[in-house]
Amino acid sequence: MAKIYHKKLVNAKEMVNEAHKNKYAVGHFNINNLEWTKAVLQAAQESKTPVILGTSEGAIKYMGGVKTIVGMVNGLLDDLNITVPVSLHLDHGQSLEMAKKCIEAGYSSVMFDGSHLAYEENIKKTKELIEFAKSYEVSIEAEIGSIGGEEDGVVGQGELGDPKQAKEMASLGIDILAAGIGNIHGKYPSWWKTLSFETLEELQNACKMPMVLHGGSGIPQDQVKKAISLGISKINVNTELQLSFRDATRKYIEAKKDLDDNAKGFDPRKLMAPGAQAIKDTFNELTKMFGCYGKAK
């Protein structure tokens, strides 16, 4: 069976391998609606930056389902004439059923998060997904241990990854490995100090492949850059875009521009425009930090 995802979508394998080789990281940006997706794609195209669009299971439900998301993304790729590499990725898929559903609908990349399972069960199901995905040419991300914090109902205790498990998981044929190195989903609490770079080095020496930093929003810039130098090749961002969207929208409303009936400030196209611009600005700021800005071939 040939790949069925849209001709303009690509899997994330080449993106992250290139990043791993050249010591930068590709940005994975979670999307939540049409405006979100459009803003990220426009920013990527304008800056010639490869990008991974991520959808959590919660966002999939909110937006109406996987077919709706695939249709929206494919339509935007065509209508906006997007030529930079774009991957559509399932973020923290909690079941094989959801991962397979996304692949069949046209996603070009999926993450199976078996960190909530016993390790042996995680390995078994990851193997099953790799076998299923072979004919679709999608990229596969898997996770060992768990990422701290909570995101769209996915809760982790923040365990540090085990190098032995990293080596075994990598040997299965996955494309990207997620593992806990002290990172946390959501806003970082005041008590949080640092990533465990010692753990990251041990994991990278064991798996020797692109690794992903989940919970990338709010980690100090110097730590992000050090993590990239040690093997992080994909960085997931969600909270940071949400906060920038919130702040720009709040500023518009506090200025009472939404109450200007003569200018039709209540029009959702005007109401959401400042937030969309803030997403683009944040995308540019972060991708420059990650080193992937302007790296599209």
Q: Is 113 among the catalytic positions? A: no
Domains of the chain: 13-290 (3.20.20.70)
Structure tokens at 121: 């069960």
Question: Has residue 179 got a pLDDT over 70?
Answer: yes
Query: pLDDT tens across 59-75, in order?
Result: 999 999 999 999 999 99
Q: How far apart are CA 94 and CA 54, in angstroms?
A: 14
Nearest to 11 by CA among 92, 86, 65, 103: 86
Q: Which of 79, 91, 175, 247 is catalytic?
A: 91
pLDDT over 90 for what percent of the chain?
A: 79
Cβ-Cβ contacts under 8 Å for 205 (sequence gap 6 or more): 163
Question: Has residue 173 got a pLDDT over 50?
Answer: yes
- pTM of the complete model: 0.91
Least confident of 23-37, 210-224, 280-294: 210-224
